[in-house]
Amino acid sequence: MSLRRRQFLQAACTVAAFGASAWSSSARAEQAGSLSLWAGDLRQHGHVDGLGAAARFFDPRGLCADPHGGVLVADAANATVRRIGADGRVSSLAGVPELRKTVEGPAAQAGFVGPDALAVGADGSIYVADSYANTLRLLRDGTVSLLAGADQLPGYADGPGAQARFNHPVGIAVDPRSGDLLVADAYNHTIRRVGRDGLVSTVAGTPGINEHRDGPARHALFNTPVGVAVHGDGSVYVSEYFNHDIRRISPKGEVSTVAGMPGQPGDLDGPGPRAQLRRPQQIAFDAAGVLYIADAGNLELRALGGDGVLRTVAGTQGGELAAPGPLPAALGAPYGVAPGPQGSIAVSSGQAVLLVRSA
């Protein structure tokens, strides 16, 4: 599998530290809590099921919480879907390790090209953004099937599942109100919706235009959206890799910028419009409605609370390799994020999945 597109989205994530401020360095130094290894080895890749550090992943990326207290992992370069139980035990749910081709059928014999993100429906169905195949797949009752898109045929088209086209769909999330799937269609610069019947429509953005414009969804513009999460009030939140910000699509279809300065990368905590991010990747809400952001370019985990203030939870500039310990700790370049066991936040970084616990 070619990693060209993945490298494009990960390029230049290691950067010089941004200037200290009252919102940033001094507050982070006092942060209580810890960063610990949950599963995998930070530096060694492979495909091994097992408990905690005995397990192995190969480029673990998107994460999502499952209904049973565990976390699902899009193990991208292994081209498999994995699960970490609350006890840290890793098991394989679907895909043949390193097959990297599309195969439908029973989970153990099914094939993915490069899964990047996962979401779980109310009925326990697992949705897979097979980004490098430009498809959305469905794992239900032990069988993998196509939901929408065409295998390794990038493009843009709304319509019934197999007739629709995507261009590197990355972040996905289930709308709990309708059961529809929201999709961050990165290289089309759009947010798409997939109904339970597989019908694909465009929510916001214009394919082929990578800009920044707030306003009504039909006029709003995005630049490489890569993460999506749905708030309890029905709002859809989107992380934008090259706009360096977080956008909100209200239930009435109004798009606004809630954190970050569009087109101005940096590392600054504070009220959303004055805060800065750098190439954020995936996002997820916890049970309290706090939005967690894998701020890959800054090597940090950030949190956007209900007060609209962006705060750094873990990670430090210069911490290119994760080093578990007291916060802020070195987080490496985070990618996936999801609620973990006992109030923790799970983060994928390197070849492992880590847990961030606040005191």
Running DSSP on this structure, what letter comes out for residue 168?
A: S
> Does the pLDDT value for residue 276 go beyond 80?
yes
Using a cut of 0.75, tell me whether the model's pTM lies above it.
yes
Summarised one tens digit per residue, pLDDT across range 116-171 is: 999 999 999 999 999 999 999 999 999 999 999 999 999 999 999 999 999 999 99
Summarised one tens digit per residue, pLDDT across range 311-338 is: 999 999 888 899 999 999 999 999 999 9
Question: Average of pLDDT values for 182-199?
Answer: 96
List, in order, residues 6 or more apart from 107 with CB less than 8 Å away: 93, 94, 95, 139, 142, 143, 144
Summarised one tens digit per residue, pLDDT across range 237-254 is: 999 999 999 999 999 999
Residues in the chain: 359
Is residue 109 classed as helix, strand or coil in its secondary structure? coil
Sheet of 309-314: strand order equals 270-271, 309-314, 300-304, 291-295, 280-285
Please give the distance of CA 332 from its chain centroid, rounded to a whole number.
16
What does the pLDDT read at residue 319? 80
Question: Average of pLDDT values for 53-69?
Answer: 96
Rounded distance between C-alpha atoms, residue 192 and residue 175, angstroms: 12
What does the pLDDT read at residue 320? 84
Beta bridge partners of 182: 173, 193
- Tokens encoding 171: 């972040």
Q: What is the dihedral of CA 294, 301, 325, 17, to 10 degrees?
A: 100
Comparing 350 with 9, the larger pLDDT belongs to 350
Is residue 27 classed as helix, strand or coil in its secondary structure? helix
Rounded distance between C-alpha atoms, residue 269 and residue 308, angstroms: 11
